[in-house]
Structure 1
Amino acid sequence: MTNPLHGQRILVTRPAHQAQGQAERLRALGADPVLLPCLEIQPVDEGTPEYLRAKCCVLDLDLYHSVIFVSANAARLGAEWIDQYWPQLPLRINWLAIGQRTAETLADHGITAFHSTAGYDSEALLESNLLHDVSGEKILIMRGADGREKLAVTLRERGARVDYADLYRRRCPRYSDSELQQALLPTPDAVLATSGEGLDNLSSLAAQWLQPLQSAQLVVPSQRIALKAEQLGWRQVRVAQGPDDRAMIQALAPDLDLDSDS
């Protein structure tokens, strides 16, 4: 079948700056992608406590044994920070990324980072040998403010000293009723949601249309988010192999070979 998703209305909830690639892939498969970003990524404002703490961490980058980037957004913004203060990367640092997409974003900025092939979350990265024996080591986590604590808590339990560089905040976008109605009516055939926070925001934004929306196929990137979705009332939840565009779309059409789809 040339267009296996022909005529399907697919709601794309990625942040606006990350949604176009997913939409283009869906369109190439015959779908009608509808963009409704459910997260805004806002870099921390200059002069705020988060900004000053992040700057101190980056200036002291060569004091860390390992630097971990938790997302593609953290990789993009973190690499920009590092480039600003370090014309040459400091030596003897273990660069680590959560997920292939995060590692690829770092590679685009000249940073070669390890990522686990066993999963796309903190739990998978914590299983890597690089983070098993970290007693006494100093580790920096680059992330969005108020993110999950699992990574830092576990590393501290293993004896590491962990600092955060909070590079951005995630916010729920604002839409008019007419914008929401245009996106949510008629009810999409499927929804792609790559984060639990984005799913919460969608539930809030779409409150007026939530009951019919929750009958649509929902694709999420992990069992953790799938459980959250079911608790929120979604009835058809499918778990993709990861949060990247290809994996999320593959979950919509499991029998389709997307290997050649770049």
Structure 2
Amino acid sequence: MTQTRPLHGKHILVTRAAHQAAAFVALLEQYGAQVTALPTIAVTDPVSWQPLDAALQRLREQKAGTARHYDWIFFTSANAVRFFLNRMAFHGDQSDLLAGLRVCAIGKATAGVVRDAGLEVDLVPAHFNAEGVVESFVAFHGGQVAGLRVLQPRARMAREVLGEALTALGVTLEVVEAYQTVRADLDPVLWQARLQSGAFDVVTFASPSAALQMAEAFPNIAPGALLAKTKVACIGPVTSQAVRDLGLDVAIEPPEATLPALAEAIAAYFASQPEALPPEEPTGT
């Protein structure tokens, strides 16, 4: 039975943050893959809580009816949801602090985390890139979005494309840092040898930051040389573009930017290439 699974004999490297990798690893293992986790990023508190705390204070004013600051809150990642809600809880705020706001969640996983917290989700864009989010948002309002006020808790140093697109339509966007992604600790000498040897059939990236931090972890070698013997799989077009900007080719990208779809796409890739054999495991590891 195991022999028939499409990823039997394939060795896949997962670069997700440690606290987020388990579910994706399990998906790949169900397809028969041997999976190694190499977190290239870690998710941690923001440089300062002050901007987020100030936004929470404005939400308290709005709840009390003394001011109106926001119409929407946009969550672009599960991490944004968790850090935002944890900070609310730290201050003793309840979920009703968001009463009266519409909630936009980018991606099914993000929407799931919002709903698990007992909040309703008003909008889950069909496409997860900036253009798709803006298109869904504009359609939701029948084309009339000028003057709307949006709060967006997000990672430090996140892409500005969505904000620029909303601002161009007359939306007032307030971005607050809710968390930051930093490079995880890894042994560059050990991992460079393994990666260059072709020990892995596929390396997966589920965010641009995971790819960027991997590249920065190995400053003495170009990403293309580091992964010359390894196929690259990306969760969606935004991540794929970041990977291509590093000089890498993307072999696998699912039609839907979700982890189950990525696992399925990797399995389908190898199922369509039965002649492909896994590389020999390096000795001495």
Contact 1:122/1:150, CA 8 A, preserved across alignment: yes
Q: Counterpart in 2 of 1:159?
A: 170
2: CA distance between counterparts of 1:13 and 1:130?
35
Partner of residue 240 from structure 1, selected from 246, 250, 254: 254
2: CA distance between counterparts of 1:217 and 1:224?
18
Structure 1 letter corresponding to 2:170: G
Q: Counterpart in 2 of 1:259?
A: none
Structure 2 letter corresponding to 1:105: V
Structure 2 letter corresponding to 1:75: V
2: CA distance between counterparts of 1:182 and 1:212?
9
Contact 1:226/1:238, CA 8 A, preserved across alignment: no
Q: Counterpart in 2 of 1:81?
A: 87
Contact 1:120/1:243, CA 8 A, preserved across alignment: yes
Query: For structure 1, which segment, 218-227 or 51-60, has the greater mean C-alpha deviation from structure 2 after superposition?
Result: 218-227
Matched, 1:38 2:44: no
Question: Taking structure 1 as reference, are residues 103 and 175 closer, same or farther at Cα in structure 2, changes over 3 Å only?
Answer: same
Matched, 1:103 2:111: yes
Question: Taking structure 1 as reference, are residues 179 and 104 closer, same or farther at Cα in structure 2, changes over 3 Å only?
Answer: farther
1: CA distance between counterparts of 2:150 and 2:207?
25
2: CA distance between counterparts of 1:116 and 1:87?
23
1: CA distance between counterparts of 2:169 and 2:158?
20
The offset of 1:193, in angstroms, is 0.4
2: CA distance between counterparts of 1:186 and 1:18?
25
SS at match of 2:173: strand
The offset of 1:212, in angstroms, is 5.5
1:202-245 CA-to-partner distances (Å, cap 9, x unmatched) read 23335559526234221112234323433433245221134432
Q: With structure 2 as the length reference, what TM-score do the two structures score?
A: 0.79
2: CA distance between counterparts of 1:186 and 1:209?
15
SS at match of 2:35: strand
The offset of 1:177, in angstroms, is 3.7
Q: Counterpart in 2 of 1:260?
A: none
Matched, 1:57 2:65: no
Q: Percent identity?
A: 23
Contact 1:187/1:212, CA 8 A, preserved across alignment: no
Structure 1 letter corresponding to 2:78: A
Matched, 1:3 2:5: yes
Give matches, 1:104-253, under 5 Å: 104-128=112-136, 129-130=139-140, 132-177=143-188, 179-180=190-191, 184=195, 185-206=197-218, 208=221, 210=223, 211=225, 213-253=227-267
Contact 2:111/2:124, CA 8 A, preserved across alignment: no
Question: Taking structure 1 as reference, are residues 151 and 255 closer, same or farther at Cα in structure 2, changes over 3 Å only?
Answer: closer
Question: Taking structure 1 as reference, are residues 227 and 88 closer, same or farther at Cα in structure 2, changes over 3 Å only?
Answer: closer
Bigger Rg, structure 1 or 2: 2
Contact 1:74/1:144, CA 8 A, preserved across alignment: yes
The offset of 1:34, in angstroms, is 0.8
Matched, 1:72 2:78: yes
1: CA distance between counterparts of 2:119 and 2:238?
29
1:152-172 CA-to-partner distances (Å, cap 9, x unmatched) read 222222222211121111111
Aligned residues: 253
Query: For structure 1, which segment, 97-106 or 173-182, has the greater mean C-alpha deviation from structure 2 after superposition?
Result: 173-182
Query: For structure 1, which segment, 164-173 or 74-83, has the greater mean C-alpha deviation from structure 2 after superposition?
Result: 74-83
Structure 1 regions of 5+ residues with no counterpart?
257-262
